[in-house]
Amino acid sequence: MQRIGMYMVLAAVFSVIWHLMGRELRILMWINNWGESVAWILRVGFGVVGAGLWLGGRQKDEAAPTDELG
């Protein structure tokens, strides 16, 4: 889940940057169908959910016991 969250955050950041430059990621073009404000809500929401998955995955990995042979 951590990797999926990282990709979601990166896609949201690139979507914001590209939108400000007058472009859009091809996979996220559909969010503009409902208007400008809804598109921004979806971009931010996508980033927040991705950040939650990313940070949640990191905490889960750190809390997992390691199996050391020795």
Burial string for 46-70 (b: 16+ CB within 10 Å, else e) reads bbeebeebbeebeeeeeeeeeeeee
Would you state the pLDDT for residue 28?
Answer: 77
Domain enclosing residue 35, as ranges: 2-62
pLDDT by residue for the chain (70 residues), tens only, comes to 889 999 999 989 998 999 899 888 787 788 888 898 999 999 999 999 999 999 988 776 666 666 566 4
Q: Is residue 69 part of a domain?
A: no
Number of domains present in the structure of the chain: 1
Would you state the pLDDT for residue 41?
Answer: 94
Q: Is residue 47 part of a domain?
A: yes
Q: Is residue 67 part of a domain?
A: no
The pTM of this model reads 0.72
Q: Is residue 12 part of a domain?
A: yes
